[in-house]
Amino acid sequence: MQSNNTQAILETRSLTKRYGTTLALNNVDITLPKGKIVGLLGPNGSGKTTLLKIVAGLLTPSNGTVLADGQPIGEGTKSMISYLPERTYLPDWMTVEDCLDYFVDFYSDFDVQRAREMLSRLNVPANKRMKQLSKGTREKMQLVLVMSRRAKLYLLDEPIGGVDPATRDYILDTIISNYDNEATILISTHLIADVEKVLDEFLFLKEGVIPMHDRTDNERETQGKSLDDLFREVFRC
């Protein structure tokens, strides 16, 4: 079921991406409303990262169109999209304070006070370098930076992958409590049971195609199934 909200923050039409002879995305049509937390769910290699990178403006589609708040992806949409890549992107030599300064310089919508408040709860000294932080703390640090921008669309690629359960809980709590109700968050993950409780809607992405898009509550009410159960059914090997 596609969202019918006329206040769409993200629309893709016939979105296709090829890498040589490999079809990573195949005629993907998506409409996402404002003010929702949406799961982009699928196994590794299903095309999730490719889709997020296209929306973030880091990859060019082979065919199709992508609109963010009605605008084609480009210079005009950079200020409205905040992107968290799957892999660590902060250099080892940077201190926590360096990272804050970097975001202040590059993003006019970065709320440094908001970031400092969140980081203070992590008890991370401002003079600590990235290489001195644990993997979990680095993941939290990157999420704090991304969520401290006043964006309209947040793209989070596997934000809870590879971290311990306590860190997952912190990350999900940070996502829920630190975004504007008019903004939309698109979370890419294959860890369905962990994110199900926070999702308003979900998209299944399977081999570059969207076989299902629905409200999370609708599946529970009409099918009597958890999202995790449905995922296992759709993606059964």
Q: Residue 119 sits in a domain of what CATH number?
A: 3.40.50.300
The position carrying tokens 């409780």 is 197
> CB-based contacts of 214: which residues, under 8 Å, 6+ apart?
1, 201, 202
**Does residue 94 form part of some domain?**
yes
The CB density around residue 226, as the number of other CB atoms within 10 Å, is 15
* pLDDT of amino acid 6: 55
- Under 8 Å CB-to-CB from 120, ≥6 apart: which residues? none
Residues comprising the chain, all counted = 237
Q: How far does Cα 34 stand from its chain's mean position?
A: 14
Please give the chain's pLDDT, 237 residues, in tens: 444 445 799 999 999 999 999 999 999 999 999 999 999 999 988 999 999 999 999 999 999 999 999 999 999 898 999 999 988 788 999 999 999 999 999 999 999 999 998 888 877 788 899 999 988 888 888 989 999 999 999 999 998 887 788 888 888 888 888 777 889 999 999 889 889 989 999 999 999 999 999 999 887 788 788 899 999 988 886
Q: What's the pLDDT at 237?
A: 60
The answer to whether residue 217 sits within a structural domain is: no
In a domain, 175, yes or no: yes
- How many domains, the chain? 1
Residue 50 near residue 17, CB atoms below 8 Å: yes
Q: Which domain holds residue 127?
A: 72-185
Please give the DSSP secondary-structure letter assigned to residue 129.
Answer: B
What are the tokens at 144?
């704090």
Helix (H) or strand (E) holding 114: helix 112-121
Angle at 175 between CA 170 and CA 177, to 5 degrees: 90
- Give me the pLDDT at residue 160, please: 83
Task: Work out the angle at residue 80's Cα, subtended by the Cα atoms of residues 153 and 69, and round it to the nearest 5 degrees.
Answer: 75
Whether 42 is in a domain gets the answer: no
